[in-house]
Structure 1
Amino acid sequence: MADAATDEEADAGAVAIYKRIFKEVLDRRPSGMRLRLAHAMGKNRSFVSQISNPTYPVPIPVQHLNTIFDVCHFSPQAKAAFLRAYARAHPRRTSRLTEGPHERTLTLHLPDLGSTKRNGQLDALFQEFARRLIVLVQDK
């Protein structure tokens, strides 16, 4: 039982290391970066605050890493240090960064059409457009 607690403390410490790097990058960016990042990930600002705070043991989900790197403009040195610390904290997750297709998130700000049904139709139209465009681009 004591071994499990020690492992958990080690994991929390490893998570805190990469979160400190992330927080340092965020703190050097202009105000509004957390909100911009939240929009890009499809999350709220409090989620970004939670995943960037080293005192919270909540890990950063691997599927958000490329978005974080793109939006926050990590320097090559900061990105390398972050990835080394992330790999130490989550050795099985980092393989997911290199395998499979890479994708990124684009957030669009659309007008509210005043109706849930019409808003849903507009959202579906943009999603279908994006899917079809990706198929065209990938069929070189």
Structure 2
Amino acid sequence: MNYLNEHEFIKLLFLLSDTQQWLTQMSHDLLAQLPNSSRLKQKTYYLSITAFAHIIERHYYRIERHPGTGKFCIPIHDILQHIKEAKDEAPQPVHGTLNLARTKNTGTIIGHERTGTPTTHITVITCPAGNIITAFPGLP
């Protein structure tokens, strides 16, 4: 049976995130030189490695870098599953931005909000094109 070495997984996740961020910026800069380059951008619900690293860094209970934020207390693969399932929720505008929020009640406690209150909700924030920016336990 293949067991997840969480510590090694998170180290690799952060390495890939940094590399992906660098490659994405280089690709963006190159494509920006083309006329009508906006047609080349992905327009679906998409979780990049960079966004996933952001979610784990800020909102996973085993990473202590960002106290005072909501923290998931479930395994990483369950976080991914809930993010995937949130796609079916109706997107709502995020006040003061062009971003959209999808909130799903998972039916089971998945973490706690920044106030420390246990929550069964996950919120996924996307840009207008559908790329996932972040996800966190709790309501927006």
With normalisation by structure 1, the TM-score equals 0.26
Structure number with the higher strand fraction is 2
Q: Choose 1 or 2 for highest CA Rg.
A: 1
With normalisation by structure 2, the TM-score equals 0.26
Structure number with the higher helix fraction is 1
